Amino acid sequence: MRIENIITGAVKRFFLEKEFHLSDISVVQLQKTRREFKGDITLVLFPFVRLMKKSPDEVGHELGLYLSGLPEIKSYNVIKGFLNLEIQHSYWTGFVAEAAADDQYGQKNKQDKRETVLVEFSSPNTNKPLHLGHIRNNLLGYSISLILEANGMNVKKVNLVNDRGIHICKTMLAWQKWGENKSPADEGVKGDHFVGDMYVKFEKAYRSEVDELVKTGMSEEEARGEAPLIKEAREMLRKWEADDPATIELWKQMNGWVYEGFDITYRRLGVSFDQIYYESETYHTGKTIVEEGLKKSVLKKKEDGSVWADLRDRGLDEKLLLRSDGTSVYITQDLGTAVLRHKDYNADKMYYVVGNEQDYHFKVLSIILDELGFDWADSLEHISYGMVELPSGKMKSREGKVVDADNIIDEMIETAGKLSDELGKLEGISEGERKEIVENIAMGALKYFILKVDPKKNMVFNPEESIDFNGNTGPFIQYTHARICSLLKKSAQQGVLPANYDLSGITLSDKEKRVASLLHEFPIVVHEAGNSCSPALIANLIYDLAKEYNQFYHDHPVIREEDLSLRNFRLHLTLLTGNVISKGMGLLGIEVPEKM
């Protein structure tokens, strides 16, 4: 049994014996002891002061004496309302030996899955390639999916492709006007990049038209609505929704180019999906739902024919669901997608990994579904994350001022190769091995740098900082894992293998206990990361573990240790550290090479 459960149970028994009613066991607050104090686990005393009507110091000493009777507790001290408990070394050695032999350490048995959850991420538009913002979205969504799986959930990774709408028609119109009937193959570029160039051409020409109209006395808003190009794009959208054959044929051709490009980028990022939904299919269901809402008088139609949801009694505003010309908007499609997904999977939860600029949108989506009578409306949860920028500032896709995902990946691989060569880390290996390791380092650097940041925070992605073999980076952790693999390989070659020596009498150093303590935290952090949908919790635990292990390894011999019991413990500690680093980085979608 974990030490936290042992202590919590003992505290509960203490109050029962004292005939105090401990109504809520959650008042037992345990945390790691700060380094400046002696101890391993600290119990916060303030919740018990009022209950016992004694000072924090008196409460601490009574509890400390009681808990000292546990075989796992070595000593205690009380400091300013906190009870610091030192754990017996035998607990740590037993834990390490047991966990090192457990292939499933840190994750729940997949046979016990009960809850089905959908995780939607990526959601690209088919008018441009994936860019830096999409990288954060994809890496977050994929990692969260893996973490939820590790917590025993039946996870389905889904993607909603925004393949229709005015922005798609802009690229189609641009190709008709300026594409010269060429294909991506003719230009020697990926399909998504080719179509993205068309979008930029449209926006530049459209901006020019707007500027000219403003010069005639129109307001900016009027000019944007009256520019000839936007009128043509709207007409194309109406033709598309009317299933005009020529428009549909062009739409399929250009979207096909984009999908080929997306697939390449997804493979490079190492992400995949269980099912892909398309807005061109789900918007029909959304419109049907809106029409049913009108019949039930849940929704209302205005004089111009547009349909709205009135949410003012919910403290919100009115929300447009269908334009006056009958065309749908984003939320209409999301209504249809949610209903189709629930029908397909009957999921307990539907997570949407989408940037924080859509916070209001998903709040409204859940409320409208509830208003329309869907009893599962509260199962929708928006995993809101902050924006990602480069050191040079924000990106603007309409002006072509974005950093494409492919370009970032290429730059990362090039930088990783140069740095590895400069440091001499890849000497004496084949070119094929070198290429594979360099790509692992590059993608590990990219993924870790993105995922170590709390998802809710905005962040700046700095490619140069991310590829560093020192500090809080992916390559540092990967190199630690490679060092551990090398040590274990050397140990096996010398016939020095973990064995069943008696570990009970071993005295551990502070550094050994710190490594063991971090390993001990791994299952708790995986659980917390699943509850909060935050890969950053795992990323930073794994960094702390790698850092502490390196400090331990610097000061303590492993293979050369003459005491057989101590050597055996350190081999188990090393083996478990390697396993936890591999599993933890795996939950971030990062591969850890065995040599670097």
DSSP string for 140-203: HHHHHHHHHHHTT-EEEEEEEEB--SHHHHHHHHHHHHHSTT--HHHHTS-HHHHHHHHHHHHH
Regarding whether 198 and 217 lie in a shared domain, the answer is: yes
The values of phi and psi at residue 29, to 5°, are -105, 115
CB 287 within 8 A of CB 328: yes
Regarding whether 481 and 354 lie in a shared domain, the answer is: no
Q: What is the pLDDT of residue 399?
A: 46
Whole-structure pTM over 0.85, yes or no?
Answer: yes
Considering only CA atoms, which of 295, 309, 376 is closest in space to residue 339? 376
Regarding whether 436 and 577 lie in a shared domain, the answer is: yes
Instruction: Give the Cα separation of 117 and 348 in Å (integer).
Output: 6
How many other C-beta atoms lie within 10 A of the C-beta of residue 368? 27
User: Does the residue 360 lie in any domain?
Assistant: yes
Regarding whether 375 and 340 lie in a shared domain, the answer is: yes
Ranking 272-286, 311-325, 425-439, 581-595 by mean pLDDT, the lowest is 425-439
Q: 198 pLDDT exceeds 50?
A: yes
User: Does the residue 105 lie in any domain?
Assistant: no
Give me the count of residues in the chain: 596
Regarding whether 419 and 374 lie in a shared domain, the answer is: no
Considering only CA atoms, which of 499, 501, 504 is closest in space to residue 90? 504
Regarding whether 367 and 430 lie in a shared domain, the answer is: no
User: Does the residue 108 lie in any domain?
Assistant: no
Which residue has better confidence, 392 or 524? 524
* Residue 140 to residues 259, 361, 451, Cα–Cα distance (Å): 21, 20, 7
Mean pLDDT (whole number) for 230-240: 94
Regarding whether 466 and 579 lie in a shared domain, the answer is: yes
User: Does the residue 100 lie in any domain?
Assistant: no
Identify the band that residue 383 occupies on the pLDDT scale cut at 50, 70 and 90: very high
Residues 63-108: pLDDT tens digits? 999 999 999 999 999 999 999 999 999 999 999 999 999 999 998 8
- Tokens 């006007």 belong to residue: 177
Identify the band that residue 113 occupies on the pLDDT scale cut at 50, 70 and 90: low
Q: What is the pLDDT of residue 112?
A: 58
**Chosen domain end from 344, 366, 399:** 399
Q: 396 pLDDT exceeds 50?
A: no
Mean pLDDT (whole number) for 292-315: 94
Residues 241-250: pLDDT tens digits? 889 999 999 9
Q: What token pair was written down for 135?
A: 């990288």
User: Does the residue 98 lie in any domain?
Assistant: no
CATH number of the domain within which 61 lies: 3.30.1360.70
Instruction: Give the Cα separation of 287 and 285 in Å (integer).
Output: 5
Which residue range is the domain that position 22 belongs to?
3-87
H or E element at residue 125: none
Q: What is the pLDDT of residue 552?
A: 97
Residues 124-171: pLDDT tens digits? 999 999 999 999 999 999 999 999 999 999 999 999 999 998 999 999
Mean pLDDT (whole number) for 16-28: 78
Regarding whether 170 and 41 lie in a shared domain, the answer is: no
Mean pLDDT (whole number) for 15-44: 87
CATH number of the domain within which 367 lies: 3.40.50.620
Residues 441-465: pLDDT tens digits? 999 999 999 999 999 999 999 888 8
User: Does the residue 250 lie in any domain?
Assistant: yes
Q: What is the pLDDT of residue 390?
A: 80
Q: 395 pLDDT exceeds 70?
A: no
User: Does the residue 104 lie in any domain?
Assistant: no
SS3 content of the chain, % helix, strand, coil (to 5): 60, 10, 30
Q: 398 pLDDT exceeds 60?
A: no
User: Does the residue 355 lie in any domain?
Assistant: yes
Pairing of β 116-120 and β 349-355: parallel
**Chosen domain end from 399, 418, 444:** 399
Ranking 36-45, 129-138, 410-419, 492-501 by mean pLDDT, the lowest is 492-501
Q: How far is CA 341 from the centre of its chain?
A: 21
**Chosen domain end from 399, 432, 466:** 399
Query: Into how many domains does the chain fold?
Result: 3
Mean pLDDT (whole number) for 505-531: 95
CA-CA-CA-CA dihedral for 260, 261, 262, 265, to nearest 10: 130
Half-sphere exposure of 394 (CA within 13 A, CB side): 7
- Provide the sign of the torsion angle of the four alpha carbons 509, 510, 516, 520, taken in this order: positive
What's the mean pLDDT when you consider all of the chain? 92
Considering only CA atoms, which of 125, 161, 147, 537 is closest in space to residue 337? 161
Regarding whether 188 and 260 lie in a shared domain, the answer is: yes
- Tokens 């090479």 belong to residue: 593
Q: 394 pLDDT exceeds 70?
A: no
Regarding whether 391 and 290 lie in a shared domain, the answer is: yes
Regarding whether 138 and 274 lie in a shared domain, the answer is: yes
Mean pLDDT (whole number) for 12-22: 84
Regarding whether 178 and 29 lie in a shared domain, the answer is: no
Which residue has better confidence, 428 or 566? 566
CATH number of the domain within which 456 lies: 1.10.730.10
Instruction: Give the Cα separation of 417 and 415 in Å (integer).
Output: 5
CA-CA-CA-CA dihedral for 152, 156, 157, 160, to nearest 10: -150
Mean pLDDT (whole number) for 368-372: 96
Q: 401 pLDDT exceeds 70?
A: no
